């Protein structure tokens, strides 16, 4: 939103923004990052077009989800435990579900019914055949589901890619029933953006870092403002991934080295169509669920409600 020459923050919808640094959305596409003087969140300005955003992703981006198949499946089993402890059964929507592997883990480990929402038609087709889950191809804003249909909506590393995050959260709220819950995971914006800001100030030029396709960089205050505007009440708000927080601050040896290596622009490239059988060959042997679960419980012991040091936020919110 712009008023005259002053940009109004699209996150908290009240603060004005100021230039923070320049950044590369992808090699060859540089623009300003502006920071809100009120909530501290940041975003690209002017906002990228749909065509520019599409160049951040290759057609075969989902091949990586075959390689991490068991990690995603066990994340689903862990989510099933959390959901079942809250409510014995219900209907879950996973936004940006890729192959639906997490959904398969939930379905096979609980009485919950599952549904996926995915922007890539190829990923949805392959995921549906691979995991036997229903995946609807649609943007979140156009999700063709009845209002109040779902008991829980899972939104993992999606909101920072949305061109209008407040509208996206309002859509999630509309899809939830009156006692519905959202599980939201997003990068901690200032930490996510810190390597870019640091290198820009050191070198005087934008450097492409790891936040490919991230359009927004949310602070805790910005997230709280959006949740309130969308009709949510936070049940828990925790910070995690502290090692990545150290790396973003340049505290680990060679933390920024990879960012300084020049790389060709591969935004939006197509790798050619592969068959499902070919992609299945990327799935590694099944890992140990018991070992994963022990590590999962240990990791969650370090999810901290009082810190903004870590690289990510985990939020559980209920519809007001």
Query: Are 249 and 243 contacting, i.e. CB atoms less than 8 angstroms apart?
Result: no
| Tens of pLDDT, residues 281-312 | 999 999 999 999 999 999 999 999 999 999 99
The pLDDT of residue 213 is 87
Lookup result for tokens 């883990």 = 105
CB 33 within 8 A of CB 20: yes
Please give the full DSSP string across 32-62, using - where no structure is assigned. EEEEETTT--EEEESPPPHHHHHTTS-TTTT
For residue 135, pLDDT over 80 is answered with yes
Specify the pLDDT at position 86: 97
Residue 143, token pair as written in the block:
């999700």
Residues 200-238 have pLDDT tens digits of: 999 999 988 888 789 999 999 999 999 999 999 999 999
* pTM beyond 0.85, yes or no: yes
Fold (CATH) for 58-258+277-319:
Rossmann fold (3.40.50)
């Amino acid at each position: 939103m712009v008023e005259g020459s002053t940009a109004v923050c699209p996150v908290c919808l009240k603060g004005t923004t100021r230039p923070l640094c320049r950044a590369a959305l992808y090699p060859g596409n540089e623009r300003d990052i502006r920071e809100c003087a009120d909530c501290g969140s940041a975003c690209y300005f002017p906002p990228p077009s749909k065509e520019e955003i599409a160049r951040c992703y290759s057609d075969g981006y989902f091949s990586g989800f075959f390689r991490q198949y068991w990690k995603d499946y066990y994340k689903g089993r862990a989510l099933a435990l959390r959901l079942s402890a809250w409510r014995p059964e219900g209907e879950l929507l996973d936004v940006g579900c890729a192959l639906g592997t997490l959904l398969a883990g939930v379905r096979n480990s609980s009485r919950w019914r599952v549904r996926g929402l995915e922007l890539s038609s190829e990923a949805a087709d392959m995921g549906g055949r691979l995991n036997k889950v229903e995946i609807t191809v649609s943007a979140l804003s156009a999700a063709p589901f009845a209002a109040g249909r779902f008991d829980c909506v899972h939104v993992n590393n999606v909101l920072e890619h949305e061109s209008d995050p407040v509208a996206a959260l309002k859509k999630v709220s509309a899809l939830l029933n009156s006692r519905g819950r959202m599980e939201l995971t997003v990068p901690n914006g200032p930490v996510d953006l810190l390597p870019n800001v640091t290198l820009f100030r050191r070198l005087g030029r934008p450097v492409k870092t790891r936040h490919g396709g991230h359009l927004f960089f949310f602070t805790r205050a910005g997230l709280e403002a959006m949740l309130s505007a969308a009709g949510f009440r936070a049940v828990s708000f925790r910070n995690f991934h502290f090692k990545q927080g150290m790396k973003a601050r340049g505290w680990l040896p060679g933390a920024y080295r990879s960012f300084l290596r020049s790389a060709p622009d591969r935004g939006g490239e197509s790798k050619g169509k592969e068959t499902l059988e070919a992609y299945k060959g990327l799935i590694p042997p099944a890992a140990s669920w018991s070992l994963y679960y022990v590590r999962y419980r240990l990791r969650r012991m370090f999810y901290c409600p009082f810190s903004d040091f870590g690289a990510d936020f985990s939020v559980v919110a209920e519809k007001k």
